[in-house]
Amino acid sequence: MTEAPILTTPLPAAKRGRRRDGAPCAAEYHAGYLAVLGERVRAARVRRGMTRKILARDSGVSERYLAQLEAGQGNISIGLLRQVAEAMSLPLGELVREGAERPIELTLLVQRLERLEPEQLAEAARLLTKQFGLDRGADRHDRIALIGLRGAGKSTLGKMLAASLGRPFVEMADEIQAAAGMSLDQIFDLSGQAGYRRYEKRALERVLERHGRFVLATGGSIVSEAGTYELLLSSCYTVWIKAAPEEHMARVVAQGDMRPMEGNAEAMEDLRQILLEREALYARADASLDTAAQSAERSFSQLLQLVNEHAK
């Protein structure tokens, strides 16, 4: 029978503090997650009418280790957890995901949606949004958000559009720094990617609360955080500002930022891969505008036309 080293995770009193951004420290966060994971495994086992002995037999994980896991004290490997999930005919993702237990209706809905083709998923999203008012109603056209990779022209076009419409222009990076009280570099140094994502969502929520009408230029990676991106899509009329990879890179370098090229001979290939990975996410925007080989004035004219057509 497979047995993993038993690693307990007591929480030393000295490590129960909070980070500067108010989030739990690493040890506290880890211990809390293990407790949630353990309770989720126990609840799933009980719902299936399985004793711990039966689950141990079917999963190949010892009964003693399962007891520690369910108590929130077993730091299980992903391989063994997969065995436990398979023994209960449960998707691994249902055990390891963050957040509270999902209602069964939501779990079944997700399973049905997973069987749809990409085009069908897009249509399902539109139907749900329309049926249940998830687009936050008629104020959505007053809130315009530009998404896309850095160097596409979001800030340039956003400022021009805001001036034309008489609305405030909001730079997401500035809002994130204001919410955190520190620079972006400091956020990543002190809180990492997870900390940045928390500040990003907090900043977006604050912009939505403070402004009824605006033009927003977002960070290129906002589409990678599902919760934040869904909030953006449901609250704002979104336009994907895109360009060829070479133009993205050239514009960033023209702004005086050589970081994309420093120490990375494969920077262009990396950029192409990022665009490829995010393409389906960016494509969820209400509209798209290709700025490749176009002047700022020409791109702005097309953007203004898109916005005006949406407002009709």
Amino acid identity of residue 46, one-letter, is V
pLDDT band at 194 (very low <50, low <70, confident <90, very high): confident
The residue-averaged pLDDT of 53-71 equals 92
Q: What confidence tens digit (pLDDT) does each residue in 159-193 have? A: 999 999 999 999 999 999 998 899 988 988 888 88
My answer on whether 245 and 192 are in the same domain is yes
My answer on whether 102 and 174 are in the same domain is no
* C-beta neighbour count of 183 within 10 angstroms: 12
Tell me whether residue 13 is exposed, middle or buried, using C-beta atoms within 10 angstroms of its C-beta: 0 to 12, 13 to 18, 19 or more: exposed
For residues 198 and 21, give the distance between their C-alpha atoms in angstroms, rounded to a whole number: 9
Helix locations, 135-257, DSSP H: 154-165, 172-180, 184-210, 226-235, 245-254
pLDDT score of 157: 95
pLDDT score of 3: 39
Smallest CA-to-CA distance from 301 within 157, 194, 101 is with 157
DSSP character string of 58-123? HHTB-HHHHHHHHTT-----HHHHHHHHHHTT--HHHHH-SSSPPPHHHHHHHHHHTTS-HHHHHH
My answer on whether 105 and 181 are in the same domain is no
Q: What confidence tens digit (pLDDT) does each residue in 107-140 have? A: 778 888 888 887 787 788 778 877 776 655 447 7
The residue-averaged pLDDT of 139-159 equals 89
Q: What confidence tens digit (pLDDT) does each residue in 226-237 have? A: 889 988 998 999
pLDDT score of 105: 83
pLDDT score of 294: 85
Is 60 exceeded by the pLDDT of residue 7? no
DSSP character string of 15-59? G--B-TTSPBPHHHHHHHHHHHHHHHHHHHHHHTT--HHHHHHHH
Tell me whether residue 55 is exposed, middle or buried, using C-beta atoms within 10 angstroms of its C-beta: 0 to 12, 13 to 18, 19 or more: buried
My answer on whether 104 and 138 are in the same domain is no
The residue-averaged pLDDT of 195-200 equals 90
My answer on whether 63 and 209 are in the same domain is no
Write down which residue in 50, 83, 111 finishes a domain.
111
My answer on whether 40 and 155 are in the same domain is no
165: part of which helix (H) or strand (E)? helix 154-165
Tell me what the pLDDT averaged over the chain comes to. Answer: 81
- Per the domain annotation, does 7 fall within a domain? no
Which domain does 177 fall in, by range? 118-311
pLDDT score of 15: 40
Write down which residue in 95, 111, 127 finishes a domain.
111
My answer on whether 189 and 107 are in the same domain is no
First to last CA, the chain: 66
- Per the domain annotation, does 77 fall within a domain? yes
Q: How many domains does the chain have?
A: 2
Q: CATH number of the domain at 62, please.
A: 1.10.260.40
Q: CATH number of the domain at 159, please.
A: 3.40.50.300
My answer on whether 143 and 74 are in the same domain is no
Q: What percent of the chain has pLDDT over 70?
A: 82
pLDDT score of 271: 77
At residue 257, the 3 state secondary structure works out as: coil
- Token pair 């399985």: residue: 50
Q: What strands, in cross-sheet order, belong to the sheet with 287-290? A: 169-171, 214-217, 143-147, 237-242, 287-290
Q: What confidence tens digit (pLDDT) does each residue in 204-249 have? A: 999 999 988 999 999 988 998 888 998 899 899 999 998 887 776 7
Write down which residue in 111, 146, 177 finishes a domain.
111
My answer on whether 295 and 146 are in the same domain is yes
pLDDT score of 215: 96
My answer on whether 225 and 82 are in the same domain is no
pLDDT score of 141: 83
pLDDT score of 191: 81
DSSP 170: E
pLDDT band at 26 (very low <50, low <70, confident <90, very high): low
- Per the domain annotation, does 41 fall within a domain? yes
Under 8 Å CB-to-CB from 11, ≥6 apart: which residues?
A: 27, 28, 31
Is 70 exceeded by the pLDDT of residue 103? yes
- The pTM is what? 0.61
Q: Which residue did the predictor score with more confidence, 252 or 108?
A: 108
pLDDT score of 170: 96
- Per the domain annotation, does 4 fall within a domain? no
Going by their DSSP bridges, the two strands 237-242 and 169-171 should be labelled as unpaired
My answer on whether 106 and 129 are in the same domain is no
- Per the domain annotation, does 215 fall within a domain? yes
- Per the domain annotation, does 283 fall within a domain? yes
